[in-house]
Structure 1
Amino acid sequence: MPITPSNALPKSRTEPDGSAVIRVLSYNIRSLRDDEAALTRVIRACEPDLVFVQEAPRFFRWRKHAARLAANTDLVMLSGGATAAGPLLLCSLRATVERTEDLLLPLRSGLHRRGFATAVVRFAGARVGVVSCHLSLQSDERHAQAGMLLDRLKAMDVPQAVVAGDINERPGGPSFGRLAAELQDCWAVAPWGAEHTSTALDPHQRIDAVFATDGVEVLGCGVPRDLPGVSTADLRAASDHLPVLGALRLAATG
């Protein structure tokens, strides 16, 4: 749907009761192999508090490349990168970091190594666990990783959580369905913007998603195709995936 003033995505803010409205962005950036200036413009225009990156740089001087992206978008590195096999978390200075952890998943012979970038952060009076993920291209391994992701959320022992990433599967598939059975699929709950995330040149499927636990209020979620400052040319040049932007209200947790 076209984005107009009447359906604009809420801006980040702190409520009088200590709850927080945050913007979260999930983006497969293909190891910064595309137009980094276009990518920077897209991220900045989205004004995110958290960025859940997939395919972050993983090899030579990967920290330098990730730090440059963070600096260019007025964000800081939170967790992940090569130490999580590609998933990365960036955050704004609005976030107070409680803890971070990078996790590598079991490696199957002949398949790509996968991992999770995780953190627990606070926004005002709201405490939230966050996980960036990029699941396998192989169906049974992907399904097992979806289960590991749900187990990791339970182990984080947080009152509310947000998961985002490249699921490598459409809604209705067994792995996507496994996540959606226990978490809110934010696009399905409050669709906003456009739906399809792949490919950037020919969007025809939704394989990237933002999920949230039941305590999180979803205010809107989708591809920011008509967001002010985001051009079609930049979306096509920045990566082979389109980003997913969501606005969420986190309850104050004390």
Structure 2
Amino acid sequence: MTVRIATYNVRGMKDSVPALVRVITALRADVLCLQEAPGPLHLRGGRAALARACGMRVAAASRLGGVAVLAGPRCRVRHAESRVLRFFTGLQVRALAVAVVEVDGMRLAAGSVHLDLHGAARLRHATEIMSVMRRVSAEHGAAAVVGGDINERAHQPTWRYLAAQLVDCHPAAAAGDGFTFSARSPRMRIDALFAARGTRVVSCACPGATGGTSGAVSGADLIAASDHLPVVAELGEGG
């Protein structure tokens, strides 16, 4: 038994929403961590409308910071919370949305994050995020998974910090280069899924990335939907 979890920066739904719906539907994710997810006052209906169109529901969301966790029909949502992270003058508000979900007896604490372009803020927020994730994981007996737009690359400090706390799913699965940005010409891996140690990473792929697989996801839709590519992993118990 595995759980499909994905992360996707949807660029505020500023691009083709029909293409975005087709991409998300084709991912077949049980859990989806969204970044730049607009709120309910958005012209196109925001994250709730997007979730409904994709056959999902909003499990957790932050009013600020543009992060949310969507749950598919196989998921039972056990807990949800959000937190605005430490504010830095002159920088954007950043937040964490966390949903504890259960799929066929496997329980995950899924956290959606969108880290800052400022290096020191990224690292400070990452430590804050991990403190929350450790607490939620312990309180609910769930394996922590963090998905998001990290806004840096694997050799940089914040990524290294997260990879020291959790397992970077893409290299654990050894599938392609995993480049996620930009969707039109992917040359950087700045979006990722990190899972608790002891979790079995069955697969992890970035549809459209070199060496990855698009499967049912249309390459044209990936370009039309957002400037980022999604990352999707299959996780099991007992890694």
1:31 partnered with 2:3 = no
Deviation at 1:60, TM superposition (A): 2.6
Deviation at 1:231, TM superposition (A): 1.6
Q: Distance in 2 between matches of 1:153 and 1:119?
A: 10
1:84 and 1:116 in contact (8 A); partners too: no
Deviation at 1:125, TM superposition (A): 1.6
Residue 233 of structure 1 aligns to a residue whose secondary structure is: helix
Q: Distance in 1 between matches of 2:133 and 2:28?
A: 26
Residue 125 of structure 2 aligns to a residue whose secondary structure is: helix
- Give the equivalent residue in structure 2 for 1:137: 117
Residue 159 to residue 57, structure 1, CA distance change in 2 (3 Å): closer
Runs of 4+ in 1 over 6 A off after TM superposition: none
Deviation at 1:94, TM superposition (A): 0.9
1:27 and 1:54 in contact (8 A); partners too: yes
Deviation at 1:68, TM superposition (A): 1.4
2:115 and 2:150 in contact (8 A); partners too: yes
1:155 partnered with 2:155 = no
Match of 1:219 among 192, 195, 202: 202
Residue 204 to residue 61, structure 1, CA distance change in 2 (3 Å): closer
1:181 partnered with 2:164 = yes
Equivalence map 1:41-190=2 (5 Å): 41-58=22-39, 60-61=41-42, 64-81=45-62, 83-156=63-136, 157=138, 158-190=141-173
Q: Distance in 1 between matches of 2:43 and 2:76?
A: 24
Residue 202 of structure 1 aligns to a residue whose secondary structure is: coil
Equivalence map 1:179-218=2 (5 Å): 179-192=162-175, 194-218=177-201
1:234 partnered with 2:221 = yes
Deviation at 1:149, TM superposition (A): 1.4
Residue 2 of structure 2 aligns to a residue whose secondary structure is: strand
Deviation at 1:59, TM superposition (A): 6.8
Where does structure 2 lack aligned partners over 5 or more consecutive residues?
Answer: none
Q: Distance in 2 between matches of 1:159 and 1:49?
A: 15
1:81-118 Cα shifts (integer Å, max 9, x gaps): 4x142111101121111110011011111110000000
For 1:151, the aligned partner's letter is S
1:94-146 Cα shifts (integer Å, max 9, x gaps): 11111100110111111100000001111122222110000111000101111
Deviation at 1:64, TM superposition (A): 3.5
Q: Distance in 1 between matches of 2:134 and 2:64?
A: 19
Q: Distance in 2 between matches of 1:223 and 1:240?
A: 13
Where does structure 1 lack aligned partners over 5 or more consecutive residues?
Answer: 1-19
Q: What percentage of residue pairs aligned between the two structures are identical?
A: 37
2:134 and 2:144 in contact (8 A); partners too: no
1:1-41 Cα shifts (integer Å, max 9, x gaps): xxxxxxxxxxxxxxxxxxx4111110000110001111111
Aligned length, in residue pairs:
231
Q: Distance in 2 between matches of 1:46 and 1:195?
A: 16
- The range that moved more, 187-196 or 174-183, is 187-196
Q: Distance in 2 between matches of 1:62 and 1:38?
A: 17
Q: Distance in 2 between matches of 1:170 and 1:39?
A: 25
| C-alpha RMSD over aligned residues | 1.6
